[in-house]
């Protein structure tokens, strides 16, 4: 695979854009995003993380004429049959089209309390799809397991980070510094596979 000099992050999620941008920063790649370029959001019609990541990456690469990195990620809660899964962001959706992550985390905690379980185990899953301007697509995934907590802790990170404590740590992702979270996150694991195996 040819060296990538310019890359578009196929996302409108500011948290993801910032996090992926941080991961790419050491590699002297000129980075922009679908949000920055004014592209419309890609409709996530896939039934798996892999399908949705590819949809985002391929459409963004076609629109931009550049390599594009698509991310689909989510939270899988063991006691809720791995929900919300690919619908993780939809749990945060509000009637006006905005997303309220505190609402989403409250929904997750409420469902766990409703079924009366003490199993609050969960994992974050991330799939990255790298689409080249020549049509080639490579896909890699990563995951990190942990336990959900309530009440929420920390105001760093984004999404469900303030309720997720990764195995082996006492802090939630919402309490960790960005650098610490990046070093162990599901997105970091997927990114390292892309880096090692596909010469990004």
Rounded CA-CA distance 160/89 in Å is 10
Dihedral over Cα of 104, 107, 108, 109: its sign: positive
3-state secondary structure of 169: coil
**Residue 193 has which token pair?**
């596979």
Positions in the chain whose pLDDT score sits under 70: 1-2, 198-200
- What pLDDT was estimated at residue 50? 97
**Is position 75 within any domain?**
yes
Residue 46 within a domain: yes
Tell me, yes or no, whether 31 lies in a domain.
yes
160 in a domain, yes or no? yes
pLDDT at 126: 97
Total domains, the chain? 1
pLDDT of 108: 98
User: CATH number of the domain that 69 lies in?
Assistant: 3.90.950.10
pTM, two decimals, is: 0.91
pLDDT of residue 69: 96
103 domain residue, yes or no: yes
Residue 132 lies in a domain: yes
Task: State residue 26's pLDDT score.
Answer: 87
- Rounded Cα distance, 200 and 194, in Å: 7
Within a domain: residue 1? no
Cα gap 141→137, rounded to integer Å: 14
Task: Give catalytic residues, as residue numbers.
Answer: 72
Q: Which of 93, 90, 92, 78 is nearest to 148 (CA)?
A: 78
Domain extent at residue 137: 6-198
- In contact, 10 and 42? CB cutoff 8 Å: yes
């Amino acid at each position: 695979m040819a060296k990538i000099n310019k890359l578009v992050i196929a996302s409108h999620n500011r948290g993801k854009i910032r996090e992926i941008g941080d991961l790419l920063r050491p590699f002297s790649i000129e980075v922009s995003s679908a949000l920055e370029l004014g592209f419309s959001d890609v409709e996530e019609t896939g039934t798996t993380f892999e399908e949705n990541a590819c949809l985002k990456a391929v459409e963004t690469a076609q629109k931009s004429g550049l390599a594009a990195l698509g991310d689909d990620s989510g939270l899988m809660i063991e006691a809720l049959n791995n929900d919300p899964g690919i619908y993780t962001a939809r749990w945060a959706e509000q009637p006006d089209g905005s997303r309220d992550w505190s609402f989403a985390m409250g929904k997750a905690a409420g469902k766990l309390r409703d079924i009366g379980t003490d199993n609050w185990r969960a994992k974050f899953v991330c799939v990255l799809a790298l689409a080249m301007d020549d049509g080639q697509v490579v896909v890699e995934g990563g995951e990190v397991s942990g336990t959900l907590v309530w009440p929420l802790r920390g105001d760093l990170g984004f999404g469900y980070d303030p309720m997720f404590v990764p195995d082996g740590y006492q802090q939630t992702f919402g309490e960790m510094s960005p650098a610490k979270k990046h070093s162990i996150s599901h997105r970091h694991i997927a990114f390292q596979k892309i880096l090692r195996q596909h010469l990004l």
